[in-house]
A and B are shown apart, each in its own frame.
Chain A
Amino acid sequence: MFSRAVRISRVAPIRAAQRAQTASVAARRTVTTNAASAQVDKSSIPQSDEEPFQIRLSDESFETYELDPPPYTLDVTKKELKQMYYDMVVVRQMEMAADRLYKEKKIRGFCHLSTGQEAVAVGVEHAIEKSDDVITSYRCHGFAYMRGGTVRSIIGELLGRREGIAYGKGGSMHMFTKGFYGGNGIVGAQVPVGAGLAFAQKYTGGKKATVILYGDGASNQGQVFEAFNMAKLWKLPALFGCENNKYGMGTSAARSSALTDYYKRGQYIPGLKVNGMDVLAVKAAVQYGKQWTTEDNGPLVLEYVTYRYGGHSMSDPGTTYRTREEIQRMRSTHDPIAGLKQHILDWGVAQEDELKAIDKEARNHVNEEVAAAEAMAPPEPTPKILFEDIYVRGSEPQFIRGRTTDEVFYFH
């Protein structure tokens, strides 16, 4: 029936018109993934590290849906730019260390790296306060670090050590620290949980917000839309954010999503698409989003356009569903770290040797922390440690059963 309908000639002009419209819309609304697209009036850059100056983001940094765009200007200091650079390098180095340790078979199970996506974790943290909340998916190492986890505790966790961030109980996907609620191994499950964090912020009062991250793959989970609905209904201070790295495992966004404009997926929630390769654009967007949502305007749906260099997890070479050229092009021309580095040099924020020193400091820091993590002891394989923290201490049942009736562990 459908095929008969489209054969009718009068349909053709309408379809053609639609196509033309779609094309023009697409052309108008493309966010750049250029990591070094911001501009500055060099004469305005102060000598002091602490004094703020204004940068101008590219016109193609944002696209909006039912929302006024954020200001295209952002106040930064030299110190902050250097800190952002340092943070991204540490995250990159940490992920590379994890990659190496995994290949040395020292890390077990799943390990999802965020190489290429550093600007999101770093940009988010630089836009919010420690008292705000963050929750993300299993690709969580960078966020755990930015929220205050140490490199040694994160790598220690990957190595299954007692002094790991979750005492060796959680592994790669389950990291928690103050204001950071994981790390969730179930695709999309963090989205309603994150809405609950925002709910609690509203319940207890105060100008706080929750940044909730999920991938383009997770964006098709039903519970994401359930969370959108309640967040809008109850005007929760939730900044939903799709980290669109173009692939949910090996399925490209276009093959999984009927609408790949993830920032419009909230339908009745305003959306903001951001250049997720540019840490400055991410910061500007999240800062604006936080202000917007804490003014009781309800939630926002952000889309961070980003790219992961590696495979979905360590077991995925990441080359069967995309070309090596594509990866190479993103790495060489859109890299978030290289982009910020270029700005720092061009704007005279730091000289080449100072940046090299920062690079070295970051690398040394990660190396030292990894060495410290490797020296940590694994949890002792005792029933006491196996059975601790299943229930809150002091509220445990009298005993918990092991594998046989001989292995019953008594708490009291």
Chain B
Amino acid sequence: MSRYLRPAARLAATARASAVRPAATSPFISRAAAVPSLQKRTYADASGVKEYTVRDALNEALAEELESNPKVFIMGEEVAQYNGAYKVTKGLLDRFGDKRVIDTPITEMGFAGLAVGAALSGLHPVCEFMTFNFAMQAIDHVVNSAAKTLYMSGGIQPCNITFRGPNGFAAGVAAQHSQDYSAWYGSVPGLKVVAPWSAEDAKGLLKAAIRDPNPVVVLENELLYGQSFPMSEAAQKDDFVLPFGKAKIERAGKDLTMVSLSRCVGQSLVAAENLKKKYGVEVEVINLRSIKPLDVETIVKSVKKTHRLISVESGFPAFGVGAEILALTMEYAFDYLDAPAQRITGADVPTPYAQKLEEMSFPTEEVIEKFAAKLLRL
């Protein structure tokens, strides 16, 4: 074996006290139950905190931005009369009319291009993809028409557009509807890319995306839409925006840095809580929020404190968000690491349909917990 592979091999060979734990019956159910309770604790004594689903938070963000700026409009498949394929745009047609809330034909490349044209002309379109899996048909316009035009024009032609929709896998939708495009969009200069997890993330990041003068890709997650999170009083106001390029430390810790995004943040928090219960270790969980620009500073600061890093994401392993985080950690925090940084990703497989096979294809709380324990030699 090449010596370059030795550190990882050493990790793999590490024996670990493996207390047998009953596997969660479904990773989705256990996560759904655990996350809000964690969050409630965070806001326990705050006043005016309300429970919001991610769906409601997105809806509120859209409604507020449509209200405040006549240049903003939303277009996409089933956004108007149907009230949104996932009900994110519910009620917007009734409130803002068919000039501002526009049903498109099923023609991703066409309407993405059209939305870009409207943005070049000075409007601020929100282009909804029913899922980002379908946006692959339109990715040329996201990358070539939207992201590059400002630079190619020497700065004279901005493109204020927001592409949004659910990204990554849902439950039982098989290979063509389960891909995570974070790494794809995250690699394109000229784009800003965000991936909200909580309701506050969803509202603050979507509003910031619509207001940002650059093309922004908002990668939502279908499994999070129905999940409730507490929303602080400040976040309920219509001037609430979150800055891009700033990660949020969802849980402070001193023993391991866990960098995650989107739905995996909730899973990481559950795993962190279990690790504390079982082993008394404190895991720091970082919610990236923003994929491009990426908050390297927060990651490095955390590694300096914990000396260990694990990234958790649901994309394919090769050339992914995890790969980028590990590379950056190696570049900027190598001397602070006590163990090789590790990544937990989706499996390198077209997502299967059968439930147990699907579970094997994506990070679960149990996998995160076990692998973190192994890294910590617990």
Q: Does B158 contact A (CB under 8 A)?
A: yes
Q: Which of A169, A195, A222 is close to B153, meaning CB atoms less than 8 Å apart?
A: A169
Closest Cβ of chain B to A333, distance in Å, is: 39
A4 to B152, CA, bound (A): 57
Q: Does B265 contact A (CB under 8 A)?
A: no
A197/B140 in contact, CB under 8 A: no
Q: Which residues of B contact A176 (CB under 8 A)?
A: 149, 152-154, 156-157
Q: Does A76 contact B (CB under 8 A)?
A: no
8 A Cβ contacts from B148-191 to A: 149-158, 189-190
A398/B144 in contact, CB under 8 A: no
A121 to B120, CA, bound (A): 21
8 A Cβ contacts from A224-269 to B: 226-227, 229-230, 233
A230/B73 in contact, CB under 8 A: no
Binary B-proximity of A154-177 (CB < 8 A = 1, otherwise 0): 000000000011111110001011
Q: Which of A223, A230, A390, A395 is close to B189, meaning CB atoms less than 8 Å apart?
A: A390
Q: Which residues of B contact A189 (CB under 8 A)?
A: 113, 140-141, 144-145
Closest Cβ of chain A to B152, distance in Å, is: 4
Q: Does B36 contact A (CB under 8 A)?
A: no
A230 to B114, CA, bound (A): 9
Q: Bin the interface of chain B by size.
A: 35 or more
Comparing A89-97, A179-187, A338-346, A365-373, the segment that makes contact with chain B is: A179-187
For the complex, count residues of A whose C-beta is within 8 A of B: 51
A165 to B105, CA, bound (A): 37
Closest Cβ of chain B to A298, distance in Å, is: 15
State whether A203 and B117 are in contact (beta carbons under 8 Å apart), knowing that A193-B145, A390-B189 are contacts in the complex: no
Q: Does A381 contact B (CB under 8 A)?
A: no
8 A Cβ contacts from A366-408 to B: 388-393, 395, 397-400, 405
A193/B123 in contact, CB under 8 A: no
Q: Does A196 contact B (CB under 8 A)?
A: yes
Interface hub of B110, B111, B150 (most chain A Cβ within 10 A):
B110
State whether A393 and B155 are in contact (beta carbons under 8 Å apart), knowing that A194-B117, A197-B120, A199-B118 are contacts in the complex: yes
Q: Does B119 contact A (CB under 8 A)?
A: yes
A165/B154 in contact, CB under 8 A: yes
State whether A229 and B105 are in contact (beta carbons under 8 Å apart), knowing that A174-B152, A223-B110, A395-B212 are contacts in the complex: yes
A169/B151 in contact, CB under 8 A: yes
Q: Does B253 contact A (CB under 8 A)?
A: no
A167/B145 in contact, CB under 8 A: no
Q: Does B45 contact A (CB under 8 A)?
A: no
A195/B117 in contact, CB under 8 A: yes
State whether A398 and B116 are in contact (beta carbons under 8 Å apart), knowing that A166-B152, A230-B110 are contacts in the complex: no
8 A Cβ contacts from B230-245 to A: 244-245
Q: Does B280 contact A (CB under 8 A)?
A: no
8 A Cβ contacts from A200-224 to B: 200-201, 203-204, 222-223
A112 to B144, CA, bound (A): 19
Binary A-proximity of B92-134 (CB < 8 A = 1, otherwise 0): 0000000100001101011111111111111100000000000
B118/A233 in contact, CB under 8 A: no
Q: Does A191 contact B (CB under 8 A)?
A: yes
Q: Which of B109, B114, B157, B292 is close to A196, meaning CB atoms less than 8 Å apart?
A: B114
Q: Which of B114, B145, B213 is close to A199, meaning CB atoms less than 8 Å apart?
A: B114
Q: Which residues of B contact A197 (CB under 8 A)?
A: 117-118, 120-121
Closest Cβ of chain A to B124, distance in Å, is: 11
A229/B107 in contact, CB under 8 A: yes
Q: Which residues of B contact A170 (CB under 8 A)?
A: 152-154
Q: Does A192 contact B (CB under 8 A)?
A: yes
A185/B144 in contact, CB under 8 A: yes
A174/B73 in contact, CB under 8 A: no
A196/B120 in contact, CB under 8 A: yes
Q: Which residues of B contact A391 (CB under 8 A)?
A: 150, 190, 192, 214
A184/B151 in contact, CB under 8 A: no
Q: Does A87 contact B (CB under 8 A)?
A: no
Interface hub of B105, B112, B118, B144 (most chain A Cβ within 10 A):
B118
A62 to B192, CA, bound (A): 47
A183 to B118, CA, bound (A): 16
Q: Which of B105, B112, B116, B123 is close to A233, meaning CB atoms less than 8 Å apart?
A: B105
User: What are 9 A-B contacts defined by CB distance under 8 Å?
Assistant: A189-B113, A193-B114, A196-B121, A198-B117, A199-B114, A227-B113, A227-B114, A230-B110, A390-B189
Given A174-B153, A200-B117, A230-B104, 7 more contacts at CB 8 Å? A182-B157, A186-B144, A193-B116, A193-B145, A226-B110, A390-B190, A391-B150
